[in-house]
Amino acid sequence: MNTRADQSSREAASEWQAVPPGTLNNLRGTLQSRRRWTAGLQTASVAAAALLLAMVAWQFLGSTATSPHALSCPECRDLLEGYARHTISPELAQRVHVHLDHCASCRVQYENLLQKVGEGGPASPQLAHQPASAAHRPRGFSLASRVGPHPIAP
């Protein structure tokens, strides 16, 4: 009854041939390297998709740096003294106001400038280059509650 199955397994076994030493190890190494390459390709694909998604989100959600009317941090810091003293144009005041709403570093710089001016110290452009940390700002701090709104700001 099992004679056919036994005969076919004997025929299959007779077709097997011995392989030179090291061939199976080389095959194993090749398969492992292909598996690593495939995993690396998958990882790179996921990273590229995440980067593309982040770029699209950045573009659609908008960045103040990409707006033609936005100020960079160095530009804003150069204008802070004039903003605090209400001596800059209404357009520039609005741009500084928008920048301060979005930039904690410049907002802290502005607070430091207000403290210097409030203490009777000279306000100088040098203040714009001092490092500031948002950790010094109390929670719930609002520039409007500190000095009132800029006469130009909405």
- Domain limits, the chain: 41-68, 73-137
Cβ neighbours of residue 109 closer than 8 Å, sequence gap 6 or more: 77, 80, 127, 128, 130, 132
**Residue 71 in tokens:** 């100020």
Rounded Cα–Cα distance for residues 99 and 107 (Å): 8
- The two most distant CA atoms of the chain are separated, in Å, by 110
Q: What is the mean pLDDT of the chain?
A: 76
Report, as an integer, the average pLDDT of 45-49.
96
- Residue 130 has a pLDDT of 35
- pLDDT tens digit sequence for 12-44: 667 778 889 999 999 999 999 999 999 999 999
Task: Say whether pLDDT at 65 is over 60.
Answer: no
Q: What angle do CA 89, 94, 95 make, to 5 degrees?
A: 100
Mean pLDDT lowest for which of 50-59, 68-77, 81-90, 104-113?
A: 68-77
Q: Would you state the pLDDT for residue 87?
A: 93
Reported as a single tens digit per residue, the pLDDT across 85-119 is 899 999 999 999 998 988 999 999 999 988 887 75
Residue found under tokens 């995993």: 39
Whether the predicted pLDDT of 152 surpasses 70 = no
Q: Which residue has the higher pLDDT, 2 or 113?
A: 113
